[in-house]
Structure 1
């Protein structure tokens, strides 16, 4: 004990001099001797008292609820690290210090144009929504409209056309897809960003040529596309909308040709699927996501956004709902997905459990990102695109597009495309018919 005291260590209760822990001087919680001062939970209470100094401890407002939830978090070390080191915590302290109710507009104003600042604000927004300090909102529409305002500020001469295009074309489709299909939140937002940017570039280039939109010719379009076709073909969506609305003459922007997907051979696909269903050494989320990818050919954006409600049990059978049609599952896959959906909710302070994600993420109230999920699959040698292409070809060989589309959530055109790709080659049959029998 004397040695411990000489080294500056605290010991709790009778000790033989070899104790490697001490008690928090405030709450008497045993702590490692390597940590001096109060314990993490007491430090969290001190930080929260400073952060919410204007909020009553036992109040009933949203800030009081957030304060109580953070104070009672089962992982106080995580909360303490966030309060000490996070930019979002410092931003929250500045907003709380204003003494007025916080709104989404306040956060939008704070975001600015920098990517780092935007990420900080997005993280804080998710946290405040998860703790019900802020109400939920249509984040897809809000982000698209905010980006439109930035583009219009740079090109005010195109404000009328761009706002009409976004309001009557981009926004309705983004809302409908997000409502019906879910998932792919960032993908839809970034896709809308790209289309707005290309439309603005196209209008600016035509103005530089001295052309109004109604005066643009096919030659002007072809000349503009020839410079950088890989990215400029996205303008097709705007040109089609402008043509249908009568803002321009009939113009044609072809689809950017896509390469034929490279699939897996049949043996590799079934070996990977068998590994996902039986190999208990793999992480459970990798097994579940890999099985859905290899068997149903789903985009990772949609796999990552699945909720526990997608896996249902009726009697002795289990079903997976990817779009509108519940799909009966084999026993091995049913056990795997049921176990994944029944996993204990995460106890971290981000409050993800309220959304019941099948693949919960680390950000407040959000599921695991498709990028992270793809990296986890790749780390266990499960390729994304080849696995998806192989699964869709195999399904399209057995199911007509009218069944394949509602079952997997594919657009009718996409379902028909995969059906054509999986069509059986009749060359051998015709050759056999033309060859005379011996």
Structure 2
């Protein structure tokens, strides 16, 4: 047989075959390449139709800047699933926006920012999606989206509530933005910091609007009025604590008390269930590789799924010929089963041609060009296999806090020092023995493990 992809329309020796193998013409063949025609378009296959569509799109680009789009055109044309790209080119708002912008010149970040300021949130998401594609295919340079997105949200909020501009603008620029930058030094970790800033801006606006409706200025607000506002809605209002503390320190209000958002005490797994799940993750080949790897990182290191989903391939490396995983500042020496599992995951090819020419490679790639999987999609995959995410994370953090002091745990897992201290108190660990071991080592006693005593050696977990 011809071993080609064709429509089977005849029989030969009791087997279904294509027309040419049976001595007939193939009425379903694409006239350009001979592959089966597409049911979406008339006369051509998906890939030939895609080539024509891309030619029409990029030939309209001025000749002086057309070369900037060549990596993007090549990557889209080489996609393993041309119908996916064809749907994007023909039907998506972002593709139509690209057509309009590219007909004049190569769009810049500033062009997209100007468009995003003047549209609603839905259209702004379309612009951000297009920006991500252009960055992925190196049409636009990379930049830190955290500052731009937060300032854009501030501008949109001030435009809707100009009466709050004198308080919101300095609060965001001198309080939220510096802390967001410090907490998210890498682009991969910026998405949750953007949501963190959005929540605080929106809550501050809601609080200022509520007191204004009562005919009050911020300087006139009393503790009773703050308590009444907090009690009038779900616990998300407690996020106003950040703004209230800032306002009091700057003399815009009286000292007001807003407690931390109430949280339920976390509940963990029993030790047998925890290690049974970890053993399943490391040995059960019936599970998909990404589920096994994500659950192993979750069960061992207690990481948020948002951080697990954003792990780049470069997080895996070697120190002194030992495989390590870098979650924050300190490399963690991996046990052999975990190292082999993550190495196998990193060695997998990208899921499709969408990822060609991407400057980033992720351990858990997503379906969007150059993007990692979303934490929501990863959570669904784990839940499908009955892995209790919150319980597993709590158990892992309690066990780690029971074995390591907060000063080691915080840079190891990327936790804030206050958070690391919180988990230490939950684990109720007495560190007297640990400190005594370090003192006796300096005096010639029994040495503590080198991975803990030496600052340059990565700790071993597992």
- TM-score of the superposed pair, with normalisation by structure 2: 0.82
1:52 offset after TM fit, Å? Answer: 2.3
Q: How does 1:167-206 map to 2 (within 5 A)?
A: 167-179=173-185, 183-206=188-211
Equivalent residue, structure 2, for 1:236: 241
In the alignment, structure 1 residue 410 sits paired with structure 2 residue 415: yes
Match of 2:382 among 345, 367, 377: 377
Q: Which moved more, 1:67-76 or 1:319-328?
A: 67-76
What is the aligned partner in structure 1 of residue 255 from structure 2?
250
CA distance in 2, matches of 1:49, 1:332: 48
| Residue 60 of structure 2 corresponds to residue 51 of structure 1 | no
**Partners of 1:416 and 1:135 in 2: how far apart?**
40
Post-superposition offset of 1:130: 1.0
Per the TM alignment, residue 60 of structure 1 is displaced from its structure 2 partner at its CA by: 5.5
Q: Is 1:277–1:291's contact at 8 Å kept on the other side of the alignment?
A: yes
On the 8 A contact 2:38/2:44 being kept in 1, the answer is no
Query: How many residue pairs end up in the alignment?
Result: 414
Question: Paired residue for 1:355, among 340, 360, 366?
Answer: 360
Mean CA deviation greater in 362-371 or 350-359: 350-359
Residue 347 (structure 2) pairs with residue 342 (structure 1): yes
CA distance in 2, matches of 1:4, 1:282: 38
Structure 2 gaps of 5+ residues are 1-7, 11-17, 431-462
Tell me by how many angstroms 1:312 deviates.
1.2
Whole-angstrom distance in 1 between the partners of 2:22 and 2:330: 66
Which deviates more from structure 2 when the two are superposed, residues 48-57 or residues 276-285? Answer: 48-57
Contact 2:38–2:46, Cα closer than 8 Å, also in 1 = no
CA, structure 1 residues 59+223, in 2 after alignment: closer, same or farther (shift >3 Å)? closer
For residues 269-280 of structure 1, the aligned pairs below 5 Å read 269-280=274-285
Per the alignment, residue 133 of structure 1 pairs with 139
| Cα offset, 1:115, TM superposition | 4.6
1:351, distance to aligned residue in structure 2 (A) = 4.0
SS at match of 1:107: helix
Shift of 1:315: 5.2
Answer yes or no: is 1:325 the counterpart of 2:330. Answer: yes
In structure 2, what is the Cα distance between the partners aligned to 1:154 and 1:236? 23
1:312 corresponds to: 317
Q: Give the Å deviation of 1:71.
A: 3.1
Pairing 1:398–2:413 present: no
Partner of 1:226: 231
Contact 1:127/1:350 (8 A) holds in 2: no
Distance 1:20 1:289, change over 3 A: farther
Judging changes above 3 Å, is the alpha-carbon distance between structure 1 residues 330 and 352 closer, same or farther for their aligned structure 2 residues? farther
Q: Conserved in 2, the CA contact under 8 Å of 1:319 and 1:326? A: yes
* Shift in CA distance, 61/390, structure 1 to aligned 2, threshold 3 Å: same
Matched, 1:120 2:111: no
Change (3 A) 1:156 1:332: same
In the alignment, what sits opposite 1:80? 86
Structure 2 residue matching 1:52: 3-state secondary structure: helix
The offset of 1:249, in angstroms, is: 2.1
Taking the aligned partners of 2:371 and 2:247, their CA distance within structure 1 comes to 36
Q: Give the whole-Å Cα distance in 1 for the aligned partners of 2:78 and 2:398.
A: 51
TM-score by length of 1: 0.87
Does the 8 A contact of 1:21 with 1:31 survive in 2?
no
Q: Does 1:61 align with 2:67?
A: yes
Q: Indicate how the Cα distance of structure 1 residues 131 and 254 shifts in structure 2: closer, same or farther if over 3 A, else same.
A: same
> Residues 156-171 of structure 1 correspond to what in structure 2 (within 5 A)?
156-171=162-177
3-state DSSP of counterpart to 1:293: helix
1:307-362 CA deviation, whole Å, 9 max, x = no partner?
Answer: 11111134552111111111111111110011111212333225474211111111
1:52 to 1:316, Cα distance in 2 relative to 1, 3 A? closer
Of 23, 30, 34 in structure 2, the residue corresponding to residue 29 of structure 1 is 34
After TM superposition, give the deviation of residue 12 of structure 1 in Å.
7.4
Structure 2 Cα separation of the partners of residues 4 and 347 of structure 1: 30
Does the CA contact (< 8 Å) of 2:312 and 2:363 recur in 1?
yes
Unaligned runs of 5+ in 1: 6-10, 426-438
Change (3 A) 1:239 1:56: closer
Taking the aligned partners of 1:419 and 1:4, their CA distance within structure 2 comes to: 69
Q: Which moved more, 1:240-249 or 1:255-264?
A: 240-249
Distance 1:415 1:157 in 2: 40
1:345 to 1:353, Cα distance in 2 relative to 1, 3 A = farther
Give the Cα separation in 1 of the matches to 2:23 and 2:78: 34
Q: For the residues of structure 2 that align with 1:132 and 1:353, how far apart are their CA atoms?
A: 8
